[in-house]
Amino acid sequence: MTKVRASITATDERLIEALYVPLRRFAAIVGNWADDPDDLLHDAWLRVLERRSLSDLEDPAAYLKRTMVNLAANRRRQTGSRRWLRGRWNVQGPVATVDGYPSDLADLATLPTDQRATLYLAEVEGFSYDEVGQMMGCTASAARMRAMRARRHLRSVLDAEVQRG
């Protein structure tokens, strides 16, 4: 269990209230689809608040988004490691199942976390690639490349579905 600083300021409370809806939407896109987006967002807030006040950050929304991308990527790696170990040692355990999503959302889930986040920030939120790069901790050209790779992957998946059906 992590410890949050002794007190959350009124400014932090206002920031949390103002940022909740857009950050929850972002968490739903980048997080594991079997997990509740509120859990990812809550973990990101805890991670940030145990170190500093949100009001101390230059851009708290961008910082929290980057934190969620890192947390989601870590969870994805941990899930893959557990799956590998179960297969390696032939261990049968509970397997998380996800209710069926429409195919376009299921296709998004196949993208790596950073590509999914970049595509969401650029296409849905309407940020420029310079802004996306700053939020994701990369250059604008790297953000553009991530989005291009994500689109290429989705296009190939959709083309394969059209050819099958």
Last residue of a domain, one of 97, 118, 135: 97
- CA-nearest of 152, 151, 134 to 143 is 134
Is the distance from CB of 40 to CB of 27 less than 8 angstroms? yes
| Tens digits of residue pLDDT in 14-62 | 999 999 999 999 999 888 877 789 999 999 999 998 888 888 999 999 9
- Please check whether residues 104 and 79 belong to one and the same domain: no
pTM, full prediction? 0.67
The owner of tokens 């899930």 is 79
- Please check whether residues 60 and 87 belong to one and the same domain: yes
- Please check whether residues 72 and 135 belong to one and the same domain: no
Last residue of a domain, one of 65, 97, 129: 97
Name the band, by pLDDT with cuts 50, 70 and 90, for residue 101. very low
**DSSP assignments along 67-83, one per residue:** HHHHHHHHHHHHHHHHH
DSSP 8-state code for residue 90: T
- Please check whether residues 86 and 122 belong to one and the same domain: no
- Please check whether residues 9 and 74 belong to one and the same domain: yes
| Tens digits of residue pLDDT in 130-155 | 999 999 989 999 999 999 999 999 99
Name the band, by pLDDT with cuts 50, 70 and 90, for residue 106. confident
Q: What percent of the chain has pLDDT over 70?
A: 79
Sorted by sequence, the CB contacts under 8 Å of residue 16 that are 6+ apart come out as: 8, 45, 54
Domain that holds residue 139: 100-165
Amino acid (1-letter code) at residue 16 = I
- Please check whether residues 70 and 110 belong to one and the same domain: no
Give the domain CATH number at 104.
1.10.10.10
- Please check whether residues 83 and 126 belong to one and the same domain: no
What distance in Å separates the CA atoms of residue 78 and residue 75, rounded to the nearest whole number? 5
CA angle, residues 95, 72, 94, in degrees to nearest 5: 10
- Please check whether residues 92 and 107 belong to one and the same domain: no
How many structural domains are present in the chain?
Answer: 2
- CA-nearest of 158, 127, 157, 159 to 144 is 127
| Tens digits of residue pLDDT in 107-128 | 788 888 899 999 999 998 899 9
